[in-house]
Amino acid sequence: MTKAEIVESIYATVGGFSKKEAADLVDAVFDVMKQTLAEGDKVKISSFGNFLVRDKRERSGLNPRTRTPITLAARRVVRFRPSPVLKAQVNGR
């Protein structure tokens, strides 16, 4: 599902405002989530799941083409953990 499809779904389901307002609403929600994650905080959406930021340390690896050792820089990654409610719905239970 794309962002445009999410906007269309919200517009059709909720009603009461224009597609532009629905798009602005979706953009605002995503902006708040991005800002929160960039600050290192967790985003918890009840009955959906948790988005968390995890720090990965520097580590050694191999260049797949040349097989020479390289050092992979430390970085932050976003992790999603689905809630039990979402897992059950996806699995049809």
E strands, the chain, are 43-45, 49-56, 59-62, 69-72, 75-82
CB 80 within 8 A of CB 50: yes
40 backbone φψ class: left, alpha, beta (φ>0; ψ -120 to 50)? left
pLDDT of residue 15: 80
The answer to whether residues 69 and 61 touch, using CB atoms and an 8 Å cutoff, is yes
CATH for the stretch 42-93:
4.10.520.10
Domain chopping of the chain, boundaries: 1-39, 42-93
So what's the pLDDT on residue 16? 84
Q: What is the pLDDT along the chain (93 residues), one digit of tens a residue?
A: 999 999 999 999 988 889 999 999 999 999 999 999 999 999 999 999 999 999 999 999 999 999 999 999 999 999 999 999 999 999 987
Cβ contact 24:43 at 8 Å: no
